[in-house]
Amino acid sequence: MNPVFSLLIFLATSAVLVAIFWPRTGLIARLSRYRRLEERVLIEDTLKHMYNCEYAGRRATEESLAGFLETSIGHAVRTLARGEEMGFLRFEGLEPVLTKEGQQYALRVLRAHRLLERYMADRTGVDPVEWHAEADRLEHTLSRDDAEGLASRLGHPLYDPHGDPIPTAAGGIPPMEGQPLATLDEGEIARIVHLEDEPPELFNEIVAAGLGPGMRLRLLDTSLNEVQFEADGRVHRLSPAVASRITVVPAGEAVQLPTHSLADLEPGESGQVLGISPILQGPQRRRLLDLGVVPGTEIRAEFESSAGDPVAYLIRGALIALRRDQASLIQLVAEPEVDDAAAGRLEGAEA
Partner 1 sequence: MAITPAAPCHGCAANRDEVLVQLGISPGRFDYLVALAGNPNTGKSTIFNSLTGLRQHTGNWPGKTVARADGGYQHADHRFKLVDLPGTYSLQAGSPDEEVARDFILFGQPDVTVVVVDATRLERNLNLVLQILEITDRVVVDLNLVDEARRHGIAIDERKLATELGVPVVPTVARTGEGIPALREAVYRVANGETATRPYRIADYPPELEAAVDKLVPLIEDTYPELPNSRWVALRLLNKDERVEDAVRTGEIGVLASDAAAAATGLSTGRGGSRPEVASISHATAGSLALAEGQVEPASPGQAILRRTEQLRWQLSPDYHDALTRRFFEAAHEIAQSASATGLRKTKFDLDRTLDRIFTNRWLGFPLMLLMLAAVFWITIAGANLPSRMLGVLLIDNLHPILSNFGASIGLPGWLNGLLFDGIYLATAWVIAVMLPPMAIFFPLFTLLEDFGYLPRVAFNLDSLFRRAGAHGKQALTMCMGFGCNAAGVVATRVIDSPRERLIAIITNNFSLCNGRWPTQILIATIFIGALAPAHLAGLVSATAVVGVALLGIFSMFLTSWFLSRTMLRGEATTFSLELPPYRPPRILQTLYTSLIDRTFIVLWRAIVFAAPAGAVIWLVANVSVGGASLAEHFISWSNPFGLLIGLNGVILLAYIVAIPANEIVIPTVLMLTVLTSAAVAGVGEGAGVMFELESAASMGVLLQTAGWTTLTGVNLMLFSLLHNPCSTTLYTIYKETGSARWTAVSALLPLAMGFAVCFVVAQVWRIVG
Binding interface with partner 1 (CB under 8 A):
1, 3-4, 6-7, 10, 22-23, 120, 122-126, 152-153, 155-156, 158-159, 163, 165, 168, 170, 172, 174, 213-214, 275-276, 278, 282-284, 286-292, 294-297, 302-310, 312, 315-323, 326
Q: What angle do CA 298, 190, 114 make, to 5 degrees?
A: 90
State in angstroms the smallest separation of the CB of 300 from partner 1.
Answer: 12
Partners of 227 in the β-ladder = 222, 238
Residue closer to partner 1 by CB (options 149, 199) is 149
What does the DSSP assignment read for 315-335?
ETTEEEEE-HHHHTTEEEPPP
Closest by Cα among 22, 105, 17, 93 to 61: 93
Residue closer to partner 1 by CB (options 5, 34) is 5
Residue closer to partner 1 by CB (options 298, 335) is 298
Where do the H-state alpha helices sit in 218-339? Answer: 240-243, 282-290, 324-327
Could you give the CA distance from residue 303 to residue 314 in angstroms, rounded to a whole number?
A: 10
State in angstroms the smallest separation of the CB of 318 from partner 1.
Answer: 5
State in angstroms the smallest separation of the CB of 142 from partner 1.
Answer: 17
Strand arrangement, sheet containing 216-222:
179-180, 246-250, 189-195, 216-222, 227-231, 234-238
Which amino acid belongs to residue 235?
V
Residue closer to partner 1 by CB (options 69, 280) is 280
Partners of 91 in the β-ladder = 96
State in angstroms the smallest separation of the CB of 79 from partner 1.
Answer: 31
Residue closer to partner 1 by CB (options 233, 292) is 292
State in angstroms the smallest separation of the CB of 289 from partner 1.
Answer: 5
Could you give the CA distance from residue 105 to residue 113 in angstroms, rounded to a whole number?
A: 12
Residue closer to partner 1 by CB (options 59, 286) is 286
Could you give the CA distance from residue 321 to residue 155 in angstroms, rounded to a whole number?
A: 28
Q: Are 134 and 116 in contact (CB under 8 A)?
A: yes
Residue closer to partner 1 by CB (options 62, 309) is 309
Burial (CB count within 10 angstroms: exposed 0-12, middle 13-18, buried 19+), residue 157: middle
State in angstroms the smallest separation of the CB of 122 from partner 1.
Answer: 7
State in angstroms the smallest separation of the CB of 232 from partner 1.
Answer: 16
